[in-house]
Amino acid sequence: MDEKITYSAAGVDIDAAETAKRKIAEYAKSTFTEKVLTQIGLFAGAFDIGGGKVLLASTDGVGTKILVAIRAGIYNTVGVDLVHHCVNDILVHGAEPLFLLDYLAHTDLTPDRVAEVVRGLSEGCRDANCALIGGETAQMPGFYPSGVFDLAATIVGQVEKGKIITGEKIRAGDRIIALPANGLHTNGYSLARYVLFQKAGLDVDTRVDELGETVGEALLKVHPLYLEPVKKISAVAEIHGMAHITGGGVAGNLSRVLPKNVDAVVRKNSAPEIPIFQLIRRIGEIPEDEMFRAFNMGFGFLVIVPQDQTDRALAAVREHGAFIAGEIVPGEGKVILT
């Protein structure tokens, strides 16, 4: 092939994004007061409101999964995706969701389609016992192409001050329990669209035998909510750290919570194979390391527990498809994929 297909070639430069985040962090840190309990780079920001309570907040979007949804004429599921994603991010630090505010921007969506998007948001909030208390719908003619919209949200949750999970308790010997993904979730869609639609000429209604469904059905699977299985683990084991596997893959996300004196060894073949990833890799001739940078590759959410509590933690979430993904070893804060 003439050009190696990478996430960067599809329009998303992960390295540039990380550089931007480091620069942004410098400016953000200059605004911190003594009530800010976390640094930029974790999955959520923590703010001490007194009385032994801490608020956790995070903002995110659905990315170009929206373009797949528009192509398929489905407008509600991206709202569910967004809420589940946001809840999972604050869950990493032990927070229970309280409320969410959304931002929907468009040029000319019909009222019915706007309502469908918000219907999905409300469904996701009910899943998580989280209130949708407001937001902003901005009509911006000339800014977005006709029929296209953007969707983002800010979630706020709460945790007791002494129960924030930051990863600092992670130690050598701990085990990594993974809760499986069901597809791309809300990341990697620029690369997936480039390979499947542009390079292969497929469309959302194309049925592919190796998927057992249409391309659209595979790409639009709703992002799982990991709140219930994490609660089940926390009821029987001490959780030392967690990671929600989003943009940047296993290595890019697990490294965000690893202390500098340990490494995480993750076995790539421990996750169940998901056909859509195999299809993208085959058609795009994408190297395995690039696939693991762009996609979750079957690892949806990681929970790190002490070795002697692994069996009971795993048993508590066996029905959720949980599996042992790896272990923590002495090191220097790296994620090693084997």
Identical fold, 32-163 and 175-337: no
Burial class (CB in 10 A: 0-12, 13-18, 19+), 185: buried
Domain regions of the chain by residue span: 32-163, 175-337
- Superfamily holding 175-337: PurM-like C-terminal domain (3.90.650.10)
Rounded to the nearest 10°, the torsion over CA 271, 277, 278, 283 is: -160
Assigned token pair, 274: 């998901």
Burial class (CB in 10 A: 0-12, 13-18, 19+), 93: buried
**Contact of 188 with 294, CB cutoff 8 Å:** yes
Quote the pLDDT of residue 26.
Answer: 79
Residue with tokens 């692994």: 310
**Contact of 67 with 75, CB cutoff 8 Å:** no
Quote the pLDDT of residue 8.
Answer: 59
Quote the pLDDT of residue 155.
Answer: 98
Element (H, E) at 234: helix 227-236
Q: How many residues does the chain have?
A: 338
Measured from the Cβ of residue 142, the count of other Cβ atoms closer than 10 Å reads 6
pTM for the full predicted model: 0.92
For the chain, strand residue ranges (E) read 45-50, 53-61, 96-106, 131-139, 149-160, 175-180, 207-208, 213-214, 241-244, 262-266, 299-305, 323-330, 335-337
Quote the pLDDT of residue 1.
Answer: 42
Question: pLDDT tens digits, the chain, 338 residues: what are they?
Answer: 445 666 555 556 666 766 777 778 878 888 888 999 977 778 999 999 999 999 999 999 999 999 999 999 999 999 999 999 999 999 999 999 999 999 999 999 999 999 999 999 999 999 999 999 999 999 999 999 999 999 999 999 999 999 999 999 999 999 999 999 999 999 999 999 999 999 999 999 999 999 999 999 999 999 999 999 999 999 999 999 999 999 999 999 999 999 999 999 999 999 999 999 999 999 999 999 999 999 999 999 999 999 999 999 999 999 999 999 999 999 999 999 99
DSSP 36: B
**Which architecture characterizes domain 32-163 according to CATH?**
2-Layer Sandwich (3.30)
Backbone torsions φ then ψ of 293, nearest 5 degrees: -80, -35
**Contact of 125 with 100, CB cutoff 8 Å:** yes
Question: What CA–CA distance (Å, rounded) separates 243 from 97?
Answer: 17
